[in-house]
Amino acid sequence: AKEKARVRAQELAAELIKTYAKRQVAEGTAFPPQPEWDPMVEKNFPFRLTPDQATSVTDVLTDMERTIPMDRLISGDVGFGKTEVAIRAALRAVANGHQVAMLVPTTVLAKQHYDTFAARVEGLPVNVALLSRFTSDAAARAAIQGLADGTVDVVVGTHRLLNESVRYKNLGLLIIDEEHRFGVGQKEKLKALRANLDVLSLSATPIPRT
């Protein structure tokens, strides 16, 4: 059993190396600053960014300005403000005409993130949708249609986002919360989805990445 586990670990490591190597040479999308949007990003944010938040936002947005697909992990305890970093990244993508998908492991967390996003973009030309088992059939159909025709800018959801029926008109940023809580099959679908996308992972659990 130990030998099988060792071999499997080596195989996974090799797969990771191949995936990251492909992404490093892949042509991604650059998301340059949008001066008209920058002041609006501060709207509805009642606090001042902490030094760590400000550094994280700068690092993420700098990555997004490059044509190499971003693959960044933001790690911090609950309440440290990871979601605000994600919102800043999402608004940068939307400002550049791209859609954003935020994938979370549970329906409760999906609703929490949806409410946070919706409150932050109130009054802005940003349409946020929720897609989970809490979503009614009518609302789910509207969200899926909106993702396909581009009228939905940001979608927050559970593994339903990985369903083959969900198509995006112009997806540019994938945000994954607590990726380690997804199953093997779901991660395989994630691997296919994230091909040339900018990817931002959030975790309250320290994850060593080498």
pLDDT recorded at residue 15: 63
pLDDT recorded at residue 28: 78
pLDDT recorded at residue 97: 95
Own/partner contacts of 21-25, CB < 8 Å, gap of 24 or more, are 23/68, 23/69, 23/71, 23/195, 23/196, 24/68
Q: Which residues of 11-32 are buried (b: 16+ CB within 10 A; e: fewer)?
A: eeeeeeeeeeeebeeeebbebe
pLDDT of 210 above 60:
no
Q: Are 131 and 157 in contact (CB under 8 A)?
A: yes
pLDDT of 18 above 80:
no
pLDDT recorded at residue 71: 87
Residues paired with residue 174 on neighbouring β-strands, in sequence order: 101, 199
pLDDT recorded at residue 82: 92
pLDDT recorded at residue 131: 95
Q: Among positive and negative, which fits the CA dihedral 98, 102, 108, 113?
A: negative
pLDDT of 193 above 90:
no
pLDDT of 117 above 80:
yes
pLDDT of 207 above 50:
yes
User: What does the mean pLDDT of the chain come to?
Assistant: 85
Q: Which residue has the higher pLDDT, 163 or 151?
A: 151
Q: What value does the mean pLDDT take over residues 113-135?
A: 93
* 52-66, 67-81, 97-111, range with the lowest pLDDT: 67-81
At 24-47, the pLDDT tens digits run: 666 678 999 998 887 888 878 888
